[in-house]
Chains A and B, each alone.
Chain A
Amino acid sequence: ETGVTQSPTHLIKTRGQQVTLRCSSQSGHNTVSWYQQALGQGPQFIFQYYREEENGRGNFPPRFSGLQFPNYSSELNVNALELDDSALYLCASSRTSGGAIYEQFFGPGTRLTVL
């Protein structure tokens, strides 16, 4: 257990719908990163949030958006769902301080199925 929690565990949506996934970071961490893991692939970086602002983004379209709250928890929102959005969505929390790199701790993920 890492102390990073995600909800919901599983979710089924249909094409065109919108979805919100939630993540609570580990105590003492101020940075949240989101990753998409398609079946048989490694996780792919979606974006990172630090101090409630987006702090880096991967190769994902604007319909993937996020938020970070003052308590460092975060949401991932996906609009206009497509079949290819079916994947495991992972949240990772870490500490950012003075540019130093700290390891990321992953949550259990949310399994999204788009029909």
Chain B
Amino acid sequence: AQSVSQHNHHVILSEAASLELGCNYSYGGTVNLFWYVQYPGQHLQLLLKYFSGDPLVKGIKGFEAEFIKSKFSFNLRKPSVQWSDTAEYFCAVTVTGGGNKLTFGTGTQLKVEL
């Protein structure tokens, strides 16, 4: 069965700092990768997704992620964070042929300070 690891559980940054959140998955086959965000008091929203093609994907609000197949990684990046980026971030994966079942990591709580 596939699994997802997010290494940073809590991250605190100052506004304008750069962000990189780690995500690794374990599965030997073809995967589809997602980053979801949960702002305080709001529902889970999709930030970006990778199905195939260019391994560098761009999402909403200036976020991007790079799929590195050899490292089984899909790290999330943003060059300059804002206070409004304070939220919990979840990496998730579905596997081809495994139905549309999302397997999530445990999440990273990001706090951006003014």
Contacts and interface: CB of A to CB of B under 8 A. Distances in A.
A73 interface: no
Given A2-B43, A42-B90, A108-B43, A101 B103 contact: no
Interface stretch (A19-27, A33-41, A64-72, A79-87): A33-41
B101 A56 contact: yes
Nearest to B49: A103
A27 B92 CA distance: 24
Contacts of B100: 31, 33, 48, 94, 96, 101-102, 104
B101 A33 contact: yes
A43 B102 contact: yes
A33 B32 CA distance: 17
B105 A101 contact: no
A103 B55 CA distance: 18
Given A41-B107, A42-B90, A104 B102 contact: yes
A48 B101 CA distance: 8
Contact of B106 (A41, A101, A102): A41
27 contacts: A4-B43, A31-B100, A35-B102, A41-B106, A41-B107, A42-B4, A42-B90, A42-B105, A42-B106, A42-B107, A43-B44, A43-B90, A44-B104, A45-B103, A56-B101, A58-B101, A90-B43, A90-B44, A92-B44, A94-B100, A101-B51, A101-B100, A102-B100, A104-B100, A105-B46, A106-B36, A106-B45
